Structure formats: C-alpha cells, structure tokens
Structure 1
Amino acid sequence: MRIYISADMEGVTGLVDADDVQPGGRDYERGRLMMAEDVNAAVRGAVAAGATDVTVNDAHGPMRNLLPETLHPAARLIRGKPKQMLMLEGLTTEYDAVICVGYHSRAGAPGVLSHSFMGHEIEDMWLDGRPVGEIGLASAVAGAIGVPVAALTGDDCACAEMTDWDASVATVAVKYARDRFAADLRPADEVRAVIEETVAASLSAPPRTSAATADKASTLTVRWQSASVASTLLGIPGVASMDSRTVQTQGALPDLYRLFGVWMRVASSLTNQPPYC
C-alpha cells in the first residue's frame, strides 16, 4: 500500500499565530517541530495499517519546513519549491490514499489562520461555482487523479470544511478555534495518539475507490485583493475577466491546479503583502 501525505502547517497541533508558522517568526522553529510530530503520527498510522511506501510532501509556505532528520524513517520527503502540483506534488494513480495533515479553513471562513493559499491577497475562490479553499481544491484534484482522501487533521473548522466536501473522510480536530489567531488546544500527546489511530483505522477500512476524472472540465474562479493581479492574468490564454478583481478559467482539474500555481507566482511578483494581515 502506497500512502501520500500532504502536510500544511496552520492546522498543526498547538499553532495559532503567524509567528508559529512563518520563517523568522519567534516561534517558527518550535512550530516546525510540532509539524513534524503531527506528520510522524500520521506516518506511524499508515505503517500500522500496512503501508509499505509513504511519501510526505511539505506543502506549507516555503515548503522547507520539515527537517529531514525529524521525519519518521519510513517516509520519503518532497521538499522545496516551486512545485508544479503545489500541495499535491508527486501524487499519481500509483498511490492508494491521501492523508492531509495540518490543513486549515478557506479565506473568509471561521478558523485558526484561515486563508486560501496567499493570505489576504486571495479574497475568494470558487470551483464550479462552489466556494473553495485549500481543502476542497486538494480533495477535488486528488479525486480527479483517482486517489481518495482518507483522513485530514486541522482545527475543528477545517474538519467541518472537509466533511462538507466529503463526509467519508476521517478527521481529527487538534484544536478548537476561538478566533482567527486563538484556539482551545488539545494536549499534544493525546492528539498525536488520535492522529495515529485515526489514520490507521481509515486505511484499514474497506478500500474506497475514486474513479479518475482527470479529463472532466471544471471552472476555477478567483477574486484577488488587487486589480493589478487580475488584469495581468488576462495575458494568459484562456483566462477571462469576471470583474476588475476576479478572473476565471476552465479545464481539467489537474491542469487547473498547475495553472493556479502560475497565477500565484504572477501575484507574488506583483504584490508584497504579509500572509496574515
């Protein structure tokens, strides 16, 4: 059994603030170790369920948060950027399931450190007319590739968002949001034990199948904070303007995900906004 783990950071045990998750933040070094412990709990759960191959993709920010020496020896690490497939780099039909660790709710929704990919630079996103963030897009793209999401960890709002997208996904709430930068934290040891147990149980259950729909057309719409980003993106073939700050394009989901990565690189070149202001 081959398992793919996509690891974000905002939804990791104990982390609540930008200083916990941004390089240079006063608690970032502690935060990256907390991230490793949540990931390692998921790896242990996968191994307990019989996984013989576990790949971890460091999917947060600079994508160099996980230190290789802190990772469980059973896992391989995909580290650094740019990555054409972003938070799902390296995911192929050869994997049996995806585990999402440390995920967070979408921009504008309740939840600790809620945002969609680029802090406040992305105000809203829609997939086929439905509000979407990192959770929904990862779930949809993985499904299009043909690999089901088996489990997700994050705060209670992230778990609710995952359930709204796919109620069959097992979730672990590692903390309970009090506000965007405040949470009621579960004890770390307790959480890691639950992550391990939940991942093992989700992978030991009768296998879920996800028929690949990589050729099915979808529509991705993004509203940016900056009109200059939207206008610049119109130079990319197939991108249409919905209003002065909103652009839209259509295509197969894996292709849209790669194209969205290009959009973010364009946006980064035009703006210099901190991610959690």
Structure 2
Amino acid sequence: MRIYISVDMEGITGLVDADDVQPGGRDYERGRLMMAEDVNAAVRGALAAGATDITVNDAHGPMRNLLPESLHPAVHLIRGRPKQMGMLEGLTPEHDAALFVGYHARAGALGVLSHSFMGHEIEDMWLDGRPVGEIGLAHATAAAIGVPVAVLTGDDRACTEMTEWDASVTTVAVKFARDRFSAGLRPPHEARASIEEAVAARLSAPPKAPAGAAASSTLTVRWQSASVASTLQGIPGVTSTDARTVRSEGTVPGLYRLFGVWMRVAASLTNQPPYC
C-alpha cells in the first residue's frame, strides 16, 4: 500500500502564531519539531495498517521545514521549492490514499492561522462556484488524480471544513480555535495518539478511488490587489469578472498547477508577509 502525506504547518499540534510557523520566528525551531512529530504519528499509523511506501511532501511556506533526520526512517521526503504541484508535489495515481496533516481553515474562517495560500492577498476562492481554500482545492485535485483523501488533521475549524467538503474523510482535531491566533490545545501525546489511531483505522480498509473528475472546471480567485488581477490577465486563458477577480477553466490538476503560477506572480507584485 502506497501512502502520500501532504503536511502543512498551521494545523500542527500546539502551534497558534506566526512566530511558531515562519522561519526566523521566536518559536519556529520548536514548531518544525512539533510538525515532524505529527507526521511521525501519521506514519506510524500508516505502517500499522500495512503501508509499504510512504511519501511525505513538506507543503508549508518555504517547504524546507521538516528536518529529514527528525522523521521516521520509512519516510521518503520531498523538500524545497519551487514545485510544479506545490502542496501536492509527488502525488500520483499509484498512491492508494492521501493524508493531509497540519491543514488549516480557508480565508475568512475564524480558524487558527486561517488563510488561503497567501495570507491576506487572497480574499476568496471558488471552484465551480463552491467556496474553497487549501483543503478543498487539494482534495479536489487529489480526487481528479485518482487518489482518495483518507485523513485530515488540524484545528476543529479545518476539520469542519473538510467534513463539509467530503464527509467520508476522517478528521482529527489537535486543537480548538478560540480566535485566529489562539486555541485550546490537546496535550501533544494525546493529539498524536489520536492521529496514529485514526490513520491506522482508516487505512485498515483503504478508501475507494474517487469517481472521475469533470472534464473541465472553473477556478475563481478574488485578490486583495487589483494590480495582481490586472497582471494575471496577461496569462492566456485568464479572464476577469471584476477589477480584483480572475478566473480560468481547465482540468482540476491543471488549474492547481496554474494557480501556483498565479501565486508566484502575486508574490512578485506584493511582497507582503502572510499574517498581518
């Protein structure tokens, strides 16, 4: 059984603030070790269920957060950037299931460190008219590739968002949002035991492959800056719906890759920190 793990950082056990998750932050070094321990819990659960190959993609920020020596020896780590498929780099139809570890709620939700990919630069996103953030877009892309998402871990708001998108995904809340930068925390040993147990249980009978994706979908993004939207219209196939909103049509994996290009353009124009 081949398992793929995409790991973000905002939804990791114990982390609540930008200083926990940004390089140079006061508690970043501690945060990256906490991140590794949540990943290791998921890996132990996957191995207990019979996994024979485990790929972990460091999907947060610079994508250099996980220290290889801090991970379970069974892990094959994808680290660094750029990556054409970003948070889903390395995911292929040969994987039997995907796990999303440390994920967070979308922009506008009152979840811990909530945002959609770029802090306040992205105000809203929609996939085929349905509000979406990192959770929904990653899930839809994995499904289009042919890989079911089995488990998601994060705060309670991220878990709710996942359940609303796909109720068949098992969720593990490792903390409970009180506001954007505060949470009630589960003890680390308890949270990681829950991750390990949930993954082992869910993968004991691997989820079925998702139904085929639509031939074409539409991704729409509203930016904080009209300059970003204006510049993006120079990319073939990108159209505007108003001064700050652009859209494009295509297959979901293709849109996911294209969206990565949009973010690189936006970053070059704005140079804004993600948590303001």
TM-score (norm 2): 0.99
The C-alpha deviation readout for 1:145-198, integer Å capped at 9, x for no partner, is 000000000000000000001101000000000000000000000011110000
Query: How far off its partner does 1:110 sit?
Result: 1.5
- Counterparts of residues 119-268 of structure 1 (less than 5 Å): 119-205=119-205, 207-213=207-213, 216-268=215-267
Structure 2 residue 80 is matched with structure 1 residue 80: yes
Task: State how far apart, in whole Å, the 2-side matches of 1:225 and 1:37 are.
Answer: 35
Task: State how far apart, in whole Å, the 2-side matches of 1:248 and 1:60 are.
Answer: 25
The C-alpha deviation readout for 1:226-259, integer Å capped at 9, x for no partner, is 1100000000000001111000000000000000
Task: State how far apart, in whole Å, the 1-side matches of 2:171 and 2:52 are.
Answer: 23
Query: How far off its partner does 1:212 sit?
Result: 3.8
**Secondary structure of 1:231's aligned partner:** helix
Residue identity matched to 1:117: F
Task: State how far apart, in whole Å, the 2-side matches of 1:132 and 1:233 are.
Answer: 20
Query: How far off its partner does 1:207 sit?
Result: 3.3
**Secondary structure of 1:260's aligned partner:** helix
Structure 1 gaps, min length 5: none
Task: State how far apart, in whole Å, the 2-side matches of 1:70 and 1:207 are.
Answer: 29
**Secondary structure of 1:99's aligned partner:** strand
**Is the Cα–Cα contact under 8 Å of residues 148 and 207 in structure 2 kept in the other structure?**
no
**Secondary structure of 2:196's aligned partner:** helix
Task: State how far apart, in whole Å, the 2-side matches of 1:216 and 1:199 are.
Answer: 31
Task: State how far apart, in whole Å, the 2-side matches of 1:10 and 1:275 are.
Answer: 12
TM-score (norm 1): 0.98
Aligned to 2:4: 4
**Secondary structure of 1:184's aligned partner:** strand
Query: How far off its partner does 1:208 sit?
Result: 1.8
**Secondary structure of 1:219's aligned partner:** strand
**Is the Cα–Cα contact under 8 Å of residues 150 and 207 in structure 2 kept in the other structure?**
no
Task: State how far apart, in whole Å, the 1-side matches of 2:70 and 2:220 are.
Answer: 38
Task: State how far apart, in whole Å, the 2-side matches of 1:4 and 1:206 are.
Answer: 13
Identity %, equivalent residues: 81
RMSD: 0.8
Task: State how far apart, in whole Å, the 1-side matches of 2:197 and 2:87 are.
Answer: 24
Query: How far off its partner does 1:26 sit?
Result: 0.3
Query: How far off its partner does 1:216 sit?
Result: 1.6
Structure 2 gaps, min length 5: none
